[in-house]
Structure formats: C-alpha cells, structure tokens
Amino acid sequence: MASGGEVISNKQVLFKNFVEGFPKESDMVVKTSSISLKVEGSNAVVVKNLYLSCDPRMRHHMMKGKDPGFVSFKPGSPLEGFGVAKVVDSGHPEFKKGDLVWGTVGWEEYSVIKNPAESLFKIHHTDVPLSYYTGILGMPGLTAWAGLYEVCAPKKGECVYISAASGAVGQLVGQFAKLIGCYVVGSAGSKEKVEILKNKLGFDDAFNYKEEHDLDAALKRHFPEGIDIYFENVGGKMLDAVLLNMRLHGRIVVCGMISQYNLNQPEGVHNLMNIAYKRVHMMGLIVFDYFPQYSEFLEAVLPLIREGKIVYLEDIAEGLENAPAALVGLFSGRNVGKQVVVVARE
C-alpha cells in the first residue's frame, strides 16, 4: 500500500510515435517508472487511476497536429484520456485525499493533474458502478444526451437511425429515443451486437451492416417511409446511403465518422444534394460545448439508471497491459459496449 510522500512504481502505457493508418498495439508500450505520491507545488493533485476509457477520439491525438482542436500525444509520454480516479494527495483547496473524480488522466497507475479544477469532475454519486463515469455518466453519455435531445429535438413517433449503435454512445442514443416514443433502428458489425440491440437494449430493429451489400436497400427495408433523425457515428458509405433515405425536414447530427479516422484520404460523399431536396438540417456536435450542462445531464440520467429504465453495456479489459489491445480493438469493432480498462478497483 502506498501512502502520501512515498515514491512508488508507476506502470504506464507510453505512446511510441505518430500513427498512420490503423493504430496497432505496437504503437504503445507498457513500462514502469516511479512517482512521488506527494503533491509538488500548489493546486495540483495526485490521483490513483481506477478505470480508463477507450475512446475513438484518441486516434486523433495519435496524429501529428493534423486536426484543429486536437493536441497530439507526446511520443515517449503516457497516453491521455478520460478516466475515473481517487485523489491520493492534493494541493488544491477544492480537492481532498479520498475524493473520487472523473476527467482527463494519464494511462498509468498514478497521475499528477496540474489543473484539477479544469480537468476533473468530482463524483458524488457512488450507488452506481464507478466505471459508469467513463461511459453513461461521463463523456459518451453526455454526447448521446446532447446529440439527441439538444441537437435533434426528437418527437414521439419519429424514426431514428443510429450507426455504431451498440457502442458507448450509440446504445444510449437508442434508449433515450425509445424513452420518448421514437421508432429506433440501429446498425452494428456483428450478429451478436444485433441481437443485443434488439433483445437487451430495446431497439425496435437492428441490422448487421457488414452483411448488407446494398446499404440503401437495407435502410429502405427498415425505414420504408424514411428517416427523421440520423445519429451519425461512422460516416463514409453509410452517410451516403442515409442521405438517400432522409425524410423531409430530417435532422442529422454528425457525432463522429469512425470509418474515416484511419484513412489517409477520406472517402467522398456523393448524395449531399439530398440535404437541399429534403431540407435536412445536418449539424456537427462536439461534446465539450455541453460540459457546462453536465449537472443537468446527471440529474436526468441517474434516476433512469436507478429505476432500471436504461441499461449500459460495458466491455471490461483487465489491467494496463491489456489497454493497447482494448484501444486498437475499437477500430475493428472488437468491443461489445463501452470499452473500459480496469487499472485498479479502489
């Protein structure tokens, strides 16, 4: 057991070098260094990391400063991402030893957080699994909530389509849409995921996009009268097919385009004129814009979990050694549900 002031070993997942194409496990290496558990300098905190979140956005940080708004990971330093942690020492007046927090941490056993008030939220509700703060109660949950309710403003009876529907964000979008009486169809990349969407997550229907040679025909089969709301997670050919199937005054929220993240040259989209023909509103979403609404979101979603009105599927990888494989697996659909890495269980 480590106590404040002690210097102890700190296992880390280090980023090796900038990535082209699909990320590989060998783009990261697990090494052990040491860390002082005593805060040096005021305002910082030292945290013990418990759960780490694997997010597709981390792929952008693996590139050399290409995307505006994304700070590249530093070669030779730990990856960074969202996680749940416990404060072991604090020089910040708002945080004390023992506090549970979620926010941006390093991929390592212990992290020094220099500006905790800017990068960490305190966790006050612990009657739900702590790992949920990487998913349903963290960044992906807020993304689903804001993208559906704030951006798309769904109405009862509307037809909602979600791609990457069984993942961290998609599974929630579908359940949120069902709660207000929408007709919800999702797509995912395996038979197992399709069964989960229909039988565990309460989607009205689902299909395996990898088995569909004609995505346009698949969408026409599921939405004979068209799509009112498309929650876009994958981009590419799927977006092209969706554009052909949007209804008049439909809404598309562009949350992500994971099918494009590992391509050197993004695919083109051919059916954009449908946006005009059908007066479609197509809007971009960046979850960080909604962080000021986090408390409101939490108040809305916690009761849904407690009352069993919403469920959340997690895919748990044990230990930092398995973190590189877990992260890389997002890009081949290996994860079933929210991909979490357990570093320690308190």
The residue ranges that bind ligand NAP (CB under 6 A) are: 55-57, 140, 143, 164, 166-170, 188-190, 193, 233-234, 255-259, 285-287, 330-331, 333, 335, 338
Smallest gap from residue 218 Cβ to ligand NAP (A): 14
Cβ distance to ligand NAP smaller for residue 43 or 72? 72
In the complex, minimum distance from the CB of residue 39 to ligand NAP, in angstroms, rounded to a whole number: 31
Q: How far is the CB of 215 from ligand NAP (least distance, A)?
A: 11
Whichever of 10 and 233 has its CB closer to ligand NAP, that residue is 233
We find the least distance from the C-beta atom of residue 61 to ligand NAP, in angstroms, to be: 12
Q: How far is the CB of 207 from ligand NAP (least distance, A)?
A: 11
* Min separation Cβ 144 and ligand NAP, Å: 8
* Rounded Cα–Cα distance for residues 85 and 292 (Å): 21
User: Residue 48 or 338: which CB sits closer to ligand NAP?
Assistant: 338
Q: Which amino acid is at 231?
A: F
Q: Which residues, at least 6 apart from 203, have a Cβ–Cβ distance to it below 8 Å?
A: 165, 174, 178, 184, 185, 186, 197
- Considering the complex, state which of residue 166 and residue 245 has its C-beta at the smaller distance from ligand NAP: 166
User: Which residue's CB is nearer to ligand NAP, number 78 or number 186?
Assistant: 186
Nearer to ligand NAP, 12 or 143 (CB): 143
Name the residue with the smallest CB distance to ligand NAP.
167
Please report how close the Cβ of residue 293 comes to ligand NAP at its closest, in angstroms. 13
Residue with Cβ nearer ligand NAP (39 or 84): 84
State the nearest-atom distance from the C-beta of 169 to ligand NAP, in Å.
4
Rounded-to-integer distance, Cα 286 and Cα 52, Å: 21
Q: Which residue, 52 or 257, has its beta carbon nearer to ligand NAP?
A: 257
